[in-house]
């Protein structure tokens, strides 16, 4: 199946859930969807297109909103599913019920961007150290680094 056939199949299977579909280069397809359609779209991709390999999930701070990109791959193509959530209420539904391996990437979204992943099975911080100040998300454009107070265990106060 070539890129054009995959795109037509996606349009047919996803119907109104499919937003903009582009093909910027061979074997690379970008699909934009509404965030409320995430679970149904990912389920269709898994069940009808055998898209079970999630390479990663990326977050991008676009200013007024966060773009979330789900990078799927198989032997035919790399499919990037893009959605957006508003900065004022950055919430997305967890896809771990559909793709269990997504949990680590979703925890990373929470740590680095402060995007709340609803119904994630384990919401503990993944990358940030214990005691990291809440509401400090290093990949947000407005984040300012403040050097923490260094303490040496057993050292003088």
Average pLDDT over residues 70-87: 96
> Quick check: pTM over 0.85?
yes
pLDDT tens-digit series, residues 27-67:
999 999 999 999 999 999 999 999 999 999 999 999 999 99
Phi-psi region of 112 (alpha: psi -120 to 50; beta: other; left: phi over 0): alpha
Indicate the fold that domain 3-118 takes in CATH: Beta Polymerase; domain 2 (3.30.460)
Residue 41 dihedral angles phi and psi, to the nearest 5°: -65, -45
pLDDT at 130: 84
17 three-state secondary structure: helix
Euclidean distance between CA atoms 93 and 35, whole angstroms = 8
Rg value, the chain, Cα:
18
**pLDDT 10s digits, 100-128:** 999 999 999 999 999 999 999 999 999 99
């Amino acid at each position: 199946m070539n890129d054009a056939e995959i795109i037509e199949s996606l349009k047919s299977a996803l119907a109104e859930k499919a937003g903009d579909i582009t093909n910027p280069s061979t074997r690379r397809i970008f699909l934009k969807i509404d965030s409320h359609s995430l679970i149904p779209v990912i389920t269709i991709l898994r069940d009808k297109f055998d898209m079970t390999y999630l390479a990663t999930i990326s977050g991008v701070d676009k200013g007024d909103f966060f773009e979330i990109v789900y990078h799927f791959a198989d032997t035919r193509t790399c499919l990037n599913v893009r959605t957006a959530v508003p900065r004022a209420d950055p919430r997305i539904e967890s896809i771990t019920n559909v793709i269990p391996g997504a949990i680590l990437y979703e925890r990373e979204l929470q740590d680095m961007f402060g995007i709340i992943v609803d119904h994630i099975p384990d919401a503990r911080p993944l990358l940030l150290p214990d005691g990291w100040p809440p509401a400090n998300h290093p990949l947000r454009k407005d984040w300012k680094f403040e050097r923490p107070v260094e303490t040496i265990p057993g050292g003088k106060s």
